[in-house]
Amino acid sequence: MAAVRDYVRPTESPKPSIKMGLSSQKTRSSQPQLQTEREYEQQIIALLAAEDYDGLELAARDARTSRARIVGGVWQLYDFYDALCRPPLEQHVTEADWNDYVETIKRWNSARPESATARIVLAGTYAGFAWFARGGDYAPNVSRTGWKLFGERFELVKATLLEAARLKDKCPYWFELVQTTALAEGWDRSLVKETLDKAIAFEPTYYHFYREYANYLQPKWYGRRGETQRFGEQIANRLGGDDGDIIYFEIAGVVACQCQSQKTPLEDLSWPRIQLGYIALRQRYGISSLKLNRYALMAYSSDDKVAANQAFAEIGEDWDHDVWKNQKTFEDAKAWAASQ
């Protein structure tokens, strides 16, 4: 927490007020044609494969300073790290794949010892490797070995984040990895809230901070029923307008989880406000497959057949595994929306 409290930009420059909302005017005007997630990630992965470390540093710096988005409103900076903090394989990733990939990122760190970006990517890679060891099952079902590796690898995450904090360049994603660590280790609520406050002060327009905190507040982690929903409403009202509605949609996406075969209602959430957020997001940034699938799931969970049917028609067969978990659940929801 000492590092969190001390983590500030080395040269303070004017930052947008939170009242400016979740997108800056610079982003809107300088990037009229947004890239898709796949397009952007392919470019970043290609830079790493070519060991073009200068290109990677330039891409990270540009994403930080421009606050640019990709289609669907995700921060380009978030997608930069998301592309690099895991092996570039679609499926069936093994322990050996992860070990090899850690060595790949270590080579970048060795070649650029003063790079905070390289350190943050290494920390994020350790975090992904830790969750790989744990697996996605419920806590009682995680093996003793899985828990041991999970803990050991998050110790590496923390050590690497501390190294990054001592370097000149500072980055919003550093705070997001601290939030990930807090979730993994079950930090005290007061420390998690303090981390959020420090993160927002560092970069108030980086909406991913709010999603991480909303996830921490879910009952399946460390919150109580309704806390995530109340937090979403509080932040949405604080921002107001389209920006508030968009963040409401984003936080609702944290709550919406098709973890079971039966339909799960979106308790304590306003479906009309979710729809407003979706419309505002789509108008501002276009819509990605991920966000479209999330919207379809929320329409399904809210018993809105008209909205769900429209979303499923647009999705076609491009269903998202992270949203639906399996094809049968997707097909069942799609059939429900089309029924009379």
> Could you tell me what percent of the chain has a pLDDT over 90?
85
- The pLDDT of residue 259: 62
In the predicted model, is pLDDT for residue 100 greater than 70? yes
Residue 73, Ramachandran bin (φ over 0: left; ψ between -120 and 50: alpha; else beta) = left
Cα dihedral 286, 91, 53, 67, rounded to 10, equals 20
Q: Is pLDDT at 300 greater than 60 in this prediction?
A: yes
Is residue 17 predicted with pLDDT exceeding 50? no
Burial 299-332 (b: 16+ CB within 10 A, else e): bbbbebeebbbebbeebeeebbeebbbeeebbeb
pLDDT, tens digit (0-9, with 9 covering 90-100), for 144-192: 999 999 999 999 999 999 999 999 999 999 999 999 999 999 999 999 9
- pLDDT for the residue numbered 89: 83
pLDDT at 258 > cutoff 70: no
**Binning pLDDT at 50, 70 and 90, where does residue 239 land?**
very high
* 18, pLDDT greater than 60: no
Please, are residues 101 and 87 in contact by the beta-carbon 8 Å criterion? yes
**pLDDT tens per residue across span 114-133:** 999 999 999 999 999 999 99
Which domains does the chain carry? 1-9+22-185 (1.25.40)
pLDDT, averaged across the chain:
91
Please give the structure tokens belonging to residue 210: 């709010």
Cα(297)–Cα(301) distance, rounded to whole angstroms? 6
pLDDT of residue 340: 75
Q: In this predicted model, which residue has the larger pLDDT, 146 or 260? A: 146
